[in-house]
Amino acid sequence: MMLTLPGVLGREQLAAARRFIAQGTFVDGRLTAGAAAQRVKRNQEIDRRPTWIAELDGLVMSNLVRHPAYRAAALPLAVATPHYARYTAGMAYGTHLDDPIMSADGAPYRSDIAITLFLSEPHEYEGGELVIDTAYGTQTVKLTAGNGVMYPASRLHRVNAVVSGERLVAVTWVQSMVRDPGQRELLYDLYLARETLLERAPDAPETIRVNQAYINLVRRWSEL
Ligand code: NI
């Protein structure tokens, strides 16, 4: 399931994130790619050594992890420290798969879900679309700054070459409590129905049933 996450960063948070990034120095993005992806990766990533990077991470991640659609659709167990990537004219990331097992501070985790948070406005760069090979065909994504997209990391994807301007994104990965993307999608459908029922008729027997089914399916399908 591919899902747009609207308004992960508000206007002021986005401006703050971009002020941080403007202070950064960028290094070759191939340093963080697996062997196969290195061959097609042509971008730059922020040097994570300055101490203010922790503040930037905090700003971005605290907003992501509170986002209701993210929480319900990802059912996150662990989320990676983001990469801040920059693509200027001529840069692209050819078709690839992300590494299945990543590590954060030495602790391994499985990349079930990939998330791209757009930090540049679409009019600030030409090209640079994220293209995802989904079960329903190819999806092309280029969102307003502050919005994100999440998709199963098991799908091939690429970033089209930037023709002009500059594309800034934050990219991260999530290990879900529910490993199977089909199960996550079913749970998200049921979650949406449950939310509507809880709002409209919190005490109705059908609400109680759907709520019970949702909670017990999460319990049945989660691995911790
Ligand atoms: Ni990727």
Measure the CA angle with vertex 8, ends 101 and 16; round to 5°.
100
- The alpha carbon of 91 and the centre of ligand 1 are apart by a number of angstroms equal to 14
The C-alpha atoms of residue 180 and residue 146 are separated, in whole angstroms, by 28
Say whether both 155 and 99 belong to one domain: yes
If one counts the domains in the chain, the total is 2
pLDDT in tens, 103-129: 867 789 999 999 999 999 999 999 999
- The alpha carbon of 158 and the centre of ligand 1 are apart by a number of angstroms equal to 7
Centre a 10 Å sphere on the Cβ of residue 84 and count the other Cβ atoms it contains: 24
- The alpha carbon of 22 and the centre of ligand 1 are apart by a number of angstroms equal to 23
Q: Kindly report the CATH number assigned to the domain that includes residue 33.
A: 2.60.120.620
**Residues, the chain:** 224
pLDDT in tens, 22-49: 999 999 998 888 788 888 999 999 999 9
Q: Per the confidence metrics, is the pTM higher than 0.85?
A: yes
The C-alpha atoms of residue 63 and residue 175 are separated, in whole angstroms, by 18
Say whether both 158 and 205 belong to one domain: no
Measure the CA angle with vertex 6, ends 175 and 182; round to 5°.
40
Neighbours of ion ligand 1 (CB under 5 A): 98
- The alpha carbon of 66 and the centre of ligand 1 are apart by a number of angstroms equal to 23
The C-alpha atoms of residue 28 and residue 11 are separated, in whole angstroms, by 29
- The alpha carbon of 212 and the centre of ligand 1 are apart by a number of angstroms equal to 37
